[in-house]
Structure 1
Amino acid sequence: MNSESVASLLVEAGSLMLIGMVFVFSFLGLLIVGIHLIARFCEAFPGDIEEPAVNVKRNNQTVQPGIDGNVIAAISAAIHTHRQNSKK
């Protein structure tokens, strides 16, 4: 390799690196600006705030609203059976 080809390769590599770094920096800057704009939009128009689901404790088990008691009983029975069978 002669020195002219090495120099041209280094210049090309440097320019590609610089272009890539500028692209990434500008993309991240636009991303930050976009996130701030979305945050301001959400503060201006908050919408309906839903109340979090309340967990109810029953017999040392947490029961979430919407889950049928029969389903919980079936899962508990299956776990108990599995634990009993795996001890043997």
Structure 2
Amino acid sequence: MKKTLSKEERQQMLSDIQRFFYDTRGEEIGELAAGHVLDFIEESIAPHYYNQALDHAKTLLDDRLASVTEELYVLEKQLKR
């Protein structure tokens, strides 16, 4: 499931990249070059962060499910023998 950026989001990211290059390297890059950097980030770097976020979400869900499971066991009625 790939989320596409809105025009506004993409434009903001391009501006951020251009500002980064200027602030850190003193280089003014155009929108085309910033677009290439953004495309590289989307294709090569972002998937690592996406997968890490999924792992984090899975861990949180596993912890919550374990908590709910414990609460359900507490609610069980004892059987008479």
Q: Which has the higher helix share?
A: 2
Q: Which has the higher contact order (CA 8 A, sep 6+)?
A: 2
- TM-score, length basis structure 2: 0.44
Larger Rg: 1
- TM-score, length basis structure 1: 0.41
